[in-house]
Structure formats: structure tokens, C-alpha cells
């Protein structure tokens, strides 16, 4: 087990309410040098990794960029960013 914030996304905690539900994963990230946790569906984590890789960024660096421009909840801002990137309207 890694310690939160040391490598970007070391801590994963599945959050699921039923077998038919989407699996949420909670991961630790560093934002402006401060550790915080973000809960996203596994599919969004996978897409976020792809978006970051296509831009030559670490996932943590991309999350920091998203954090700097968000006006609401971080998890929601990440989902919207991923959706726009997938739809070809990347920011």
C-alpha cells in the first residue's frame, strides 16, 4: 500500500452499494501541495487517464488544471472535463 499523494493515485477504495451498481473509486490526489480524495466511477478514472496521457500530463497535473478552473464540486468538474474531451471539445 502506498501513502496518499506520494505517486498521484496510490489509494483506491471501491465504493459500491449493490452488484448492479457502478463501482466508485476513491483516490488520493495532491492539489496545490495538499492531499485530497476524489471519488469517481472507474470508467471516468480510465477516461481521465487517457485524456491526461494524450496531453502528456500526469493524472494529478490534469486534476490540478481542472481544479483551477472549476466553479463547483471537483468530482463533477472532472466528469464534465472528461465528457468534453471525449466529445472532442477538450479544454
Instruction: Please state the three-class secondary structure of 16-36 as a single string.
Output: CCCCCCCCEEEEEEEECCEEE
Give the model confidence (pLDDT) of 35-89 as tens digits: 999 999 999 999 999 999 999 999 999 999 999 999 999 999 999 999 999 998 7
The residue whose grid cell reads 500526469 is 58
Q: At a CB cut-off of 8 Å and minimum separation 6, what does 13 contact?
A: 25, 26, 27
Which pLDDT score is estimated for 13?
52
- Mean pLDDT on 20-29: 84
Q: Is residue 12 predicted with pLDDT exceeding 70?
A: no
Domain ranges of the chain: 12-86
CB 3 within 8 Å of CB 12: no
Q: At a CB cut-off of 8 Å and minimum separation 6, what does 41 contact?
A: 22, 23, 24, 25
Going by pLDDT thresholds of 50, 70 and 90, the confidence category of residue 22 is: confident
Which pLDDT score is estimated for 20?
61
pTM of the model: 0.74
Rounded to whole angstroms, the Cα distance separating 59 from 40 reads 13
Going by pLDDT thresholds of 50, 70 and 90, the confidence category of residue 18 is: low
CATH topology of domain 12-86: Ribbon-helix-helix fold (1.10.3990)
Amino acid at each position: 500500500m502506498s501513502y496518499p499523494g506520494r505517486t498521484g493515485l496510490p489509494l483506491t477504495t471501491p465504493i459500491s452499494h449493490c452488484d448492479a451498481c457502478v463501482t466508485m473509486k476513491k483516490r488520493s490526489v495532491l492539489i496545490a501541495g495538499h492531499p485530497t480524495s476524489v471519488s469517481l466511477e472507474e470508467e471516468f478514472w480510465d477516461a481521465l487517464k487517457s485524456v491526461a496521457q494524450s496531453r502528456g500530463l500526469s493524472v494529478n497535473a490534469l486534476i490540478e488544471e481542472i481544479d483551477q478552473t472549476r466553479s463547483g464540486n471537483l468530482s463533477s468538474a472532472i466528469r464534465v472535463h472528461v465528457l468534453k474531451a471525449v466529445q472532442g471539445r477538450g479544454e
